[in-house]
Structure 1
């Protein structure tokens, strides 16, 4: 894999890790809006949050290790890394908002409220990150 591809992959891992971290800390722990899995007891929800947190942490560690290795080798391509970061963050958030929230119904953003503004905001932010990632991807490919 080239420096561009590895940079993009490292950024994608870091983007997924950050999206999972913010989701877990803000919506699960601070606001108490939901757990990763809300179809069972609170204890099961807490266990699912722990597994989700470990997944996000592992993604971030992988992204940081790739970033450090690329810098050490002198092959880090920062625009490609940022492209991967935005694509990873936006892709994970859109996957969460559509597949996990709607298709699998693992949880919702909030309960006992009209979900429309929450869903639109959540998925619009995801699409915005994806668009920025695609623009950066196209720009880095043109420069090569």
Structure 2
């Protein structure tokens, strides 16, 4: 079992930087894929569906900008880690999966069910889509946690 407490101060800082880079990249990646696939290609919903189509399209544009901002921030941090030879590949991938899973869980639970700003798809039996969406999110999160906690050397 690995934790930040078992690292020196410098190693703990490197771990945090690897996690933040991975989480930002993961958030941006899954948001981009969601927006591209479900919003643009399949036309299942907009980011905000409680208004006109015009507002829905504007909300999609803002959502798309967020996804690219997070992706690019993650990649800048990744490049800096590589430049400093501080990249912890397994921890970084754990962060990516944590970012993906956390975003998808937030989207599936908070935005779809609590805030009701959109659904995955507007069909009679949306529960099937919700269950699949959230199971995938949980799996990504669990695998991300396993990778982050995995023992290994700096480049493992």
Match of 2:5 in 1: none
Match of 2:149 in 1: 138
Match of 1:124 among 135, 138, 142: 135
* Alignment partners' CA distance in 1, 2:72 and 2:57: 22
Unaligned runs of 5+ in 2: 1-11
Match of 1:50 in 2: 61
Match of 1:96 in 2: 107
* Alignment partners' CA distance in 1, 2:153 and 2:124: 47
Match of 2:50 among 35, 39, 50: 39
After TM superposition, list the pairs within 5 Å mapping 1:10-89 onto structure 2. Answer: 10-89=21-100
Count of residues in Structure 1 that have an aligned counterpart in Structure 2? 143
1:23 to partner: Cα distance: 0.3
The DSSP-based 3-state class of the residue aligned with 1:2 is: helix
Unaligned runs of 5+ in 1: none
* Alignment partners' CA distance in 2, 1:33 and 1:109: 7
Q: Which has the larger radius of gyration?
A: 2
More displaced, 111-120 or 89-98? 111-120
Match of 1:106 in 2: 117
1:94-123 Cα shifts (integer Å, max 9, x gaps): 000000000100000011331111000000
The runs of at least 4 consecutive aligned structure 1 residues that moved more than 6 Å come to: none
Q: How much is the aligned-residue C-alpha RMSD, in angstroms?
A: 1.3
Larger helix fraction of residues: 1
* Alignment partners' CA distance in 1, 2:128 and 2:91: 32
